[in-house]
Structure formats: structure tokens, C-alpha cells
Amino acid sequence: MTPDQIVALLAAAVTAGAPLIYAGVGETLAERSGVLNLGVEGIMLVGAVCGFAVAVATGNPWLGALAALGAGALLAAGHAVLTVTLGAEQVTSGLALALYGTGLSAFLGKPLIGVPNPAPFRAFPVPGLGEVPVLGPILFRQDALVYLSYGLALATWWWLARTKPGLHLRACGESPEAADAMGVNVAAMRYGAVIVGGALAGLAGAYLSLAYTPAWTENMTGGLGWIAIALVIFSTWNPLRLLGGAYLFGAVDALGFRVQLLGVETSSILLRMLPYLFTLTVLVVITVARRQASVPAALGRPYFREE
């Protein structure tokens, strides 16, 4: 590959990584607060269809993104009621949400199949930074949602590690008893984390239908929601490592695409399996290498006082 091709590949990796960053950061927030949300895939699909519908109706992609945030928050709020207030099994509730979201998006999206998106997010270079060699085309000639995605990962890392609410959130996921005894409202923190996390998953879906593809097709996430959950584990619940993981996945994804363009004789279906196979491999390696994973100690455990 020529240097230009490598730069193009890396730029494609950053683009393909964006939805994983949104969904992964959202899931990281929920899990750091102690709530597992396996509904990411379903929320992404509903976010994609709602964002697309609103963008088509209004002609404004930002309103579409806003609608996706709202739809994601709403679905996640249901998960929060079930798991935080009622103490339901988080795995079951999350799986139900994933299935429900998939079905709901297919139903809502029926009339939108084949409709062109009149107003997708378009790439624009950041003045100045876009002209920097190598880094410019990779990071700074993207669309607005990509710029926001890596900004969000950095901001979330800083917020978790360096601010008081971040400390409270982490404590809720490690020891809700300790947080409660120190006057932290555990339920409120968990509701907040799950709802914001769901909103971000919705936005991740909208990125696909408003910028990446940009159109609505049924099941267009193709398992990215599950990959995002795997990446959260791969990144050991750290948004900075998540950023790296998302770009790695994006690069493998883009590489598969390019191998086809280079005319290598191979099945396209086989190539599309590549990123998933890669994720599995990385997960196995990480799990074996780090026996003592840094999983939040209270992940999956509901908290009630007087028990």
C-alpha cells in the first residue's frame, strides 16, 4: 500500500470507529455506575430510525441527532426503572430491550426504506488543522459527529477520573453501600448514567443513518451494538482505551473493504466476518492476559438499603 492509501485507511478507521465510541462511552458510563445494559443494539437501531425520520421530515441532520438522543434516553429509562427501581435481573432486561428495539425499529422504518436522506452530515475540514499532513486527513477532515465522538471519549475519561460526580459514579459501581453511607444518591446516579448511556447509544445509531451510510435499512447496525459492549470490556471500562479499541476495529473493518478493492480473490462474506473475528480474538487474549480484570465490583447488582 502507498502512504496515501494508509492515510485513507486510517481516516476510514476513525469514521467507522465513531458509532462504536458513542455506544461504548454510553455503555461505559452505565457499567461504571453498576448497571449492565445489553440493550445497546436495540437502542442503536431505534436511534437510527428516529434520527433518520426526523432528518428527512425537517431537512436538518442536527434535529435528527437530537431525536435519536431522545429516543435512546427514553428506552434506557425503561431499563433503569426495571433494574434500578425494581431490581430486575439486568441481563434479562437488557436482552429484552435489544430484541424490542430491533423489532420496533423495523416496524417504524418500513415506510423509510429506499427514501434518500436529503440532509446527511457532511465532512468539512477543521480550518488549519485539516491542512496538517497525515493527521489532518485522518482526524480533521471528517464530519461534525466524528469530531464530537473523540471529544466525547476524552471528556468522559476526564470527567470520570477528575471530577466529583465522576468519583461518585465510580463509587456507585464499586460499592453502592459505601456511596450510600457517604450520602451519595445511588439510584439517582445510576438513573443518570443509564439514561445518558442510552442517549449516546441512540446517537451512535443515528450516526449510521445520518452520516455513515446515510440511509435507513433494516438491521443496519449489523451487530455493532454488541461489538460496543465487547469493546467496553476490552478497554477495561476506560474511555481512552475504548477510543483505541474502536479505531482498531474500524481499521480492520476498513481493511476488509480495501482488500476487495485491491482485487484479492476472496468471499466478501468472509471479509465482513473479519472485524468480529478480530474482536473475539482480542477479547480472548485480554481475558487470559488479565486474570484480575477491573470489572466494576458491583456491576449487575441492584442496591437497596435495609437489606
Number of amino acids touching another protein (CB under 8 A): 24
Cβ at position 167, least distance to another protein in Å: 5
267 touches another protein by CB under 8 A: no
190 touches another protein by CB under 8 A: no
Residue type, 234: F
Nearer to another protein, 167 or 240 (CB): 167
32 touches another protein by CB under 8 A: no
Task: Tell me how far CA of residue 85 lies from CA of 28, 89, 185, 198, 280, in angstroms.
Answer: 20, 11, 13, 17, 34
199 touches another protein by CB under 8 A: no
Nearer to another protein, 166 or 244 (CB): 166
* Binder of another protein out of 4, 128, 133, 164 (CB under 8 A): 164
84 touches another protein by CB under 8 A: no
**What does the CA dihedral 97, 98, 101, 105 come to, rounded to 10 degrees?**
180
- Residues 189-208, buried b or exposed e (16+ Cβ, 10 A)? bbbbbbbbbbbbbbbbbbbb
Cβ at position 174, least distance to another protein in Å: 4
| Residue 22 burial class via C-beta count within 10 angstroms: exposed 0-12, middle 13-18, buried 19 and up | buried
Interface with another protein in residues 272-301 (CB under 8 A): 291-292, 294, 297
Q: By CB under 8 A, which span of 77-85, 136-144, 180-188, 275-283 interacts with another protein? A: 180-188
Nearer to another protein, 219 or 287 (CB): 287
Residue type, 248: L
306 touches another protein by CB under 8 A: yes
Q: What are phi and psi of 59, to 5 degrees?
A: 75, 10
Cβ at position 31, least distance to another protein in Å: 14
181 touches another protein by CB under 8 A: yes
172, 183 in Cβ contact below 8 A? no
Nearer to another protein, 79 or 170 (CB): 170
182 touches another protein by CB under 8 A: yes
Angle CA 41–42–48, to nearest 5: 90
User: In angstroms, rounded to a whole number, what is the distance separating the alpha carbons of residues 98 and 299?
Assistant: 19
DSSP states of 255-287: HHHHHHHTT----HHHHHHHHHHHHHHHHHHHH
- C-alpha 307 chain-centroid distance: 34
305 touches another protein by CB under 8 A: yes
Cβ at position 165, least distance to another protein in Å: 7
* Binder of another protein out of 177, 217, 299, 300 (CB under 8 A): 177
* Binder of another protein out of 79, 168, 190, 241 (CB under 8 A): 168
| Binding residues for another protein (CB under 8 A) | 162-165, 167-168, 170-171, 174-175, 177-184, 291-292, 294, 297, 305-306
